[in-house]
Amino acid sequence: MEHPAKNPAEQKKPLLNAMTVDVEDYFQVSAFEKYIKRAQWQDIPCRVENNTNRVLEIFAEKNIKATFFVLGWVAERYPKLIRKVVDSGHELASHGYDHVRVTNFDKSSFYSDITTTKKILEDISGVEVIGYRAPSYSIGATNLWVLELLEEAGYRYSSSIYPIKHDLYGMPDSPRFAFRPNKKNGKKTAFIEIPVTTTRLLGKNFPCGGGGYFRLLPYFWSKYAIGRVNRKDKEPAIFYFHPWEIDPEQPQQHNISLKTKVRHYTNLKKMENRLKILLDDFVWGRVDSIYLERT
């Protein structure tokens, strides 16, 4: 069926991009898992509540709605924060229970993790949770079976694949934009996978979807690359960051490798201002309202 032609005013309207927040505390990142055991988490002062509240303030100032992928561990300890996210008009989604990479699960334990976290978030918030993001983008070519389990558990989409080559994650051969995975019988699922945004240059995918790349690289790269995706690919971008990234006063870990130190701490003092510029330079919205209406 043909779609009616858009008038010039509609064609010039900027694309709505997806703004997402991975709600975890500074000591819960995968890069620290060799240095900070999960058994220690309960004894470490948390900063995620204050940092996420600051994120909510920034979004309110800019009149932006976003998607918050939240750990079940965080939701159990800060239920008022979770309700505030929802009451502020943002989408609530799952980031797994306690930031265990999907590559460390078998099918049974993964299904338990995603169903348990979904129930925790829904019981606290009173809204249905349909989105999921794997910790550290740990879904790739070797464990695509998890997408069927997510659909079986009641999720409608995932944003867990990063189509780049990285030492900790990545699936460079993945489609760059939202797609419906194949089932074992070859049929397409109703479920949608929404990869984090990359731009294609010189035959390679380059990251421009946020995270450490947003802090480490000059801002003009992110602005250029996201704009290029909107203009050239005519696709929305999906961007992510963490609440701890706007917290330069967080306690520093001293027993970590130089690479980890550079990745985690570089430009934390510049992050909040850089984020505000990004929010002004593009148009942003929730994952569900953008992608579930498009595909």
Instruction: Lowest mean pLDDT of 4-18, 21-35, 141-155, 233-247, name the range.
Output: 4-18
Rounded mean pLDDT, 106-135: 97
Q: For residue 4, what pLDDT is reported? A: 44
Instruction: Lowest mean pLDDT of 68-72, 95-99, 210-214, name the range.
Output: 210-214
Protein fold of 8-291:
TIM Barrel (3.20.20)
Q: For residue 170, what pLDDT is reported? A: 63
Question: What is the overall mean pLDDT for the chain?
Answer: 91
Alpha carbon distance 153, 76 (integer Å): 20
Where are the domains positioned within the chain?
8-291
> Between these two residues, 89 and 181, which has the higher pLDDT value?
89
Rounded mean pLDDT, 35-63: 96
Local confidence band at 141 (pLDDT 50, 70, 90 cut-offs): confident
Q: For residue 185, what pLDDT is reported? A: 60
| Cβ-contact 86, 92 below 8 angstroms | yes
Q: For residue 202, what pLDDT is reported? A: 85
> Between these two residues, 279 and 186, which has the higher pLDDT value?
279
> Between these two residues, 119 and 203, which has the higher pLDDT value?
119
pLDDT per residue as tens digits for the range 162-218 = 987 765 666 878 899 999 987 666 666 789 999 999 999 988 999 999 989 999 999
Give the percent of the chain with pLDDT over 90: 76
